[in-house]
Amino acid sequence: MNITLKSYKKNAVQLTIIVGCGKLGAAIANQISETGGEVLILDKDKQSFRRLSPFFGGLSVIGDALDLDKLKEIQIQKATTLLIVTNDDNVNYMVAQLARNMFSIRHVIARVLDKDKESIFTSEGILTFCPVSLSQERIQQLLVMKVPASSEAGDVEYDGE
């Protein structure tokens, strides 16, 4: 008797869904597409998709991320990662919570512009990044960076353009 054992490997296709096709959303979408990843980007404004690369191989969908019907339409539950980068913290928070609560998405990243709101996100397991904090850290590095000495004091050399 020949018994064939089949192993059912979970078909985990990595799909990143990005909410918000601003400068950052578009940049990440382009990056993921370029490296061969599956990506879907959602934005209310059709014009925002002009920021996408001409070689963008993902899906772009016009819609409101707060509209539950639209989220069901794009099958948001299939996302392995959700990146939320609209310009409104409150929208980002609501979409993040809808994703976790109603669609069981675990890997949720949201931009938080107001640092004072960050704890509301993180206390619920939403991963966050705060542009002002990140810029602050970078500026700190730049502030203590040693500038290469020029031949004479006051003589500054400019590179190219």
Partner 1 sequence: MKKSIVIIGGHTKAMILAKSILKKGYNVIVINESYEDCISISEIPGISVVQGDGARPYVLADANIWDADMAIALTPNDEDNLMICQLCKHKFSISKTVAIVSDPKKVEFFYALGVDRAVCTISTVASIIEQQAFVTDITNIIPIGGGNIQILELRIDGYSPVIDKQLWEIELPTEAIVGCILRGDTALVPRGNSRITMGDTLVLIVGQQQEASAIKTLTGR
List residues near partner 1 by CB under 8 A: 66, 68, 88-91, 93-94, 97-98, 101-102, 114, 116-117, 119-120, 123
Report which of 52, 124, 56, 130 is spatially closest to residue 95, judged by C-alpha positions. 124
Minimum gap (Å) between residue 13 Cβ and partner 1: 28
Q: Nearest approach, Cβ of 82 to partner 1 (angstroms)?
A: 16
* Cβ closest to partner 1, residue 39 vs residue 65: 65
- Nearer to partner 1 (CB atom), residue 73 or residue 88: 88
Helix spans in the chain (H): 23-34, 68-73, 89-103, 118-122, 131-143
What is the distance between the alpha carbons of residues 40 and 30, in angstroms, rounded to a whole number? 11
Least spacing, CB of residue 48 vs partner 1, in Å: 19
Beta carbon nearer to partner 1, 44 or 117: 117
What is the C-alpha separation between 39 and 73, in angstroms, rounded? 15
